[in-house]
Amino acid sequence: MTGIAERPDTRSMWTNWAGSARCTPARRVSPRSEDELAQCVRDASATGQPLRLAGSGHSFAPLVSTDSTLVDLHEYADVIAVDPVGMTVTVQAGTPLWRINAELDRYGLALENMGTINVQTAAGLVSTGTHGSGTRYGCLSSQIASMRLITGHGELVECSATSEPDVFSAARLGLGALGVISTITFRCVPAFSLGLEERTEPFARLIGQLPELIANVDHPIFFWPMWSDSVHIRAMSRTTAPRRPPSRWQAWRDHYLAGHVGLHGVLQTHRRNAALVPFASKVLTRRPLRSFVDVSHRVFTFPQRVRVVAMEYAVPLEALGQALQELRRALPSAGEVVSLPLEIRVAPGNDIPLSPAYGRPTGYVNLATDAHSPHDKIFHCAERVLGDFDGRPHWAKLHSQTARSLAPRYPRWHDVQRIRRSLDPHGILINPYLEQVLTGTSA
């Protein structure tokens, strides 16, 4: 790989953000240009050695893990262009979301929807189906206008809805298995503000009013502790009201005191005595309910310093209320607790073949807990319940599914496999985990 920066810690261990996946690659390289990135792929293709890419490591599943070549994208992370007239932004694969948001601010533009973490890379966000909430606003993958993709042969393919449309359709969420993403062009919208209002509701009232809540709030998020009869509602709606962002004290209280010190305390409590988790969480949730207006990405996202592991399933939106009721019945008998409240979001259906929201409006149910405390039983319990509602797991999070069990849940599964084989016939972009969950070739 002449001319490509090889990291001095080339034989050191790589670990993801949560510590739930790690590997010791034979080589770690950091390309600085598209040509160098393509050369990495061509070298891997010539030698038949697998290759995987690492961004910020925010996938809980071992999507990146490899004992061969690991391509680190942290030096291939620039915003290439912003088109204020066409309302698009083009970025390199390793560009973190916070940098995209900052650049769009300068031009009075924004992405229409996003999740809560802003350090994920552009390629990582779209490759795993990262999503926000709101039935009228799609995931990051659905906001792509075009992409430049490097095939398993090292060839560059430009794709969009009108150029290589089959490739574009599948590669918008391809787990890094349909080619190496080089650049992404996202569609943008005029910059907008979000008003945030927080409140609590009894669980039974939430279930009864769920359709109205989802319809009347642009970006609703529900937090439900499995041991509680109350649900915390985080309602974010688009507004033309003057901005009134939280004060410096309020931001410190919410992001550091509650979001770091408080959550860390809950996780420590879980490790010492799981029976005390409900009490510790109730203390944490006694902070004042928030109400403010700010630029969209500052409301969508907030720092996440406490490291947990998570599992998330997507169910048909019309079944969400029933699924939550069944979880309420089943989870207490699992013999374990989750450290943090279950997080519920909603999304429109889309046409991305491997998207958990493919072909149907969707409700997402996320369980997050301390990585060092027992959680297998409660994760498996939730999987059984949500699987009965035709649940599809989030690709970046923990689950126990295989290609055999996943294929029937995705109507275009075999189309994706055909496209993948045409782009990477020798499977150099496949690691053992993808053999298990995507290609079905694992023993």
3-state secondary structure 306-363: CCCEEEEEEEEHHHHHHHHHHHHHHHHHCCCCCCCCEEEEEECCECCCCCCCECCCEE
- Report the residue count for the chain: 443
DSSP, res 29? E
Q: What angle do CA 343, 349, 354 make, to 5 degrees?
A: 85
Quick check: 266 and 273 in contact, CB under 8 A?
no
Q: What is the pLDDT of residue 307?
A: 86
The pLDDT tens digits for 121-161 are: 999 999 999 999 999 999 999 999 999 999 999 999 999 99
Where does the pLDDT of residue 1 fall: very low under 50, low under 70, confident under 90, or very high at 90 and above? very low
What share of the chain has pLDDT > 70, as a percent? 92
Q: What is the pLDDT of residue 397?
A: 97
Helices (H), 273-308: 277-284, 296-300
The pLDDT tens digits for 215-250 are: 999 999 999 998 889 999 999 999 999 999 988 877
- 279-310 b/e (C-beta count within 10 Å ≥ 16 → b): ebbeebbeeeeeebbbbbbbbbbeebebbbbb
Residue 67: pLDDT over 90: yes
Where does the pLDDT of residue 286 fall: very low under 50, low under 70, confident under 90, or very high at 90 and above? low
Residue 274: pLDDT over 90: no
Q: What is the pLDDT of residue 228?
A: 87
The DSSP secondary structure of 123-138, one letter per residue, reads HHHHHHT-----TTS-
The pLDDT tens digits for 190-224 are: 999 999 999 999 999 999 999 999 999 999 999 99
Quick check: 185 and 103 in contact, CB under 8 A?
no
Structure-token pair, residue 356: 């958990």
- Rounded to the nearest 10 degrees, the angle between the axes of helix 376-387 and helix 320-330 is 140
Q: Give the span between the Cα atoms of 384 and 143, in whole angstroms.
A: 32
In this prediction the pTM is 0.94
The DSSP secondary structure of 101-115, one letter per residue, reads HHHHHHTTEE-S---
Quick check: 416 and 179 in contact, CB under 8 A?
no
Single-letter amino acid, residue 405: S
Look at 254-258, 367-371, 381-385 and tell me which has the smallest mean pLDDT.
Answer: 254-258
Q: What is the pLDDT of residue 110?
A: 98
Helices (H), 157-273: 165-171, 203-216, 248-252, 263-272
Residue 284: pLDDT over 70: no
